[in-house]
Amino acid sequence: MEDRSIIHVDMDAFYAQIEQRDNPKLIGKPVIIGGTSSRGVVSTASYEARKYGVHSAMPIKAAKKLCPEGIYLPVNMKKYKEVSKNIHGIFTKYTNVYEPISIDEAFLDVTGKEALEIAKSIKKDIRDKLRLTASVGISINKFLAKLASEVNKPDGLTIIEKDEVLSFLRPLPITKIWGVGPKMERELNKLGIYYIEDVQNYDVEVLVSIFGKRGKELYEFSYGIDNRPVEPRIANQSIGEEETFLKDIYDMEMLLDTLKDYSFNLSKKLKENRYLARTICVKIKYSDFTIETRSMTLNIPTNDERMIYKTAKYILLNKFNINREVRLIGLTLSNLIYPDDPIQLSMDI
């Protein structure tokens, strides 16, 4: 069986790079994109800002302490989405098998083609047509291609060959394995696992006994095994709205009213783009910055604001135990389909 050739394209500091492109006075300066109020969070930081320790998801207040001379700009999502569409248009020149995983990155399956030449051409097209840079990784699967794209940012191009996989992975921290966040990292550290090499040397049966299916997945990733295919999908795979309140609240009626507004706005967007949504997710960020999300997958996809709100209301009232003040509430619709797509009936309570 022929090895797959997978390309991962990741735009460099996407939002900030676009603003620097459109305003040359910002080039070379620390640009931070995000909520401009004291309660906002960083969406993207330019590489100049990252030198100060500023990173995405950081509260704006903390960013300003680290980088008081930074240039703070609001998110212009309409502009960024338009650029993203242009990037996806470039991908279709080279393959129809591409999977957007966010507004600024995607996987492409170019098996049987000259992956390196395609990667160079994509980078050139992005630079020539959009005046932007992207970092690109090439390897035999999605996990490795994504790791490769991180090696030489910004504007990098890295290949992880099949015979280099084990030596490349061995010294990397465990957090480089897909899905290992702070909580999982702490659990692995308790077992003496700090690097990918430690997983390679661990008894897979012990990992499975502790982490279940995830334990086997960790072990396979540590050896560079990833059989997930590149799955073509709607470029904008989810839509959502969220709001950081000016003051932390403990008012269920206000939370429900906010969800009702979101439901109306998102229903309108679905209808404008001829989408139906399968999955409805409510996000809560508390005053201590902890975040909880709960979701439901509908039997019948919908774009109806009443059904969206009814489901969101059910989630909020039945799947959360809100006993703290709330800083932010969000509503996201995902698993978007066109009405003519086949529908798989399911319900995730």
Report pLDDT digits (tens) over 95-111: 988 888 778 999 999 99
Looking up residue 325, the CATH number of its domain turns out to be 3.30.1490.100
| Whole-angstrom distance, CA of residue 175 vs CA of residue 179 | 8
Judge if 177 and 133 occupy the same domain. no
Judge if 193 and 243 occupy the same domain. no
Place of tokens 């502009």: 79
Residue 155 is encoded by which pair of tokens? 């504007």
Judge if 175 and 269 occupy the same domain. no
| Whole-angstrom distance, CA of residue 59 vs CA of residue 314 | 30
Q: Out of 99, 105, 217, 305, which one is annotated catalytic?
A: 105
Q: Is residue 348 included in any domain, yes or no?
A: no
pTM of the entire predicted model: 0.70
Residue ranges making up the domain that contains 317: 238-337
Judge if 201 and 277 occupy the same domain. no
Q: Is residue 233 included in any domain, yes or no?
A: no
Looking up residue 210, the CATH number of its domain turns out to be 1.10.150.20
Q: Is residue 347 included in any domain, yes or no?
A: no
- Return left, alpha or beta for 112; rule: phi > 0 is left, psi -120 to 50 is alpha, else beta: left
Q: Is residue 344 included in any domain, yes or no?
A: no
Looking up residue 39, the CATH number of its domain turns out to be 3.30.70.270
Q: Give the residues of the chain that fall short of pLDDT 50.
A: 340-349
Alpha helix ranges (H) inside the chain: 14-22, 47-50, 60-66, 77-91, 115-130, 142-149, 165-169, 182-190, 196-200, 204-211, 213-222, 252-273, 305-319
Judge if 138 and 171 occupy the same domain. no
Judge if 148 and 5 occupy the same domain. yes
Nearest of 160, 123, 131, 164 to residue 144 by alpha carbon: 160
> Could you confirm whether 305 is annotated as catalytic?
no
Segment 225-238, tens digit of pLDDT: 999 888 776 555 78
Q: How many domains does the chain have?
A: 3
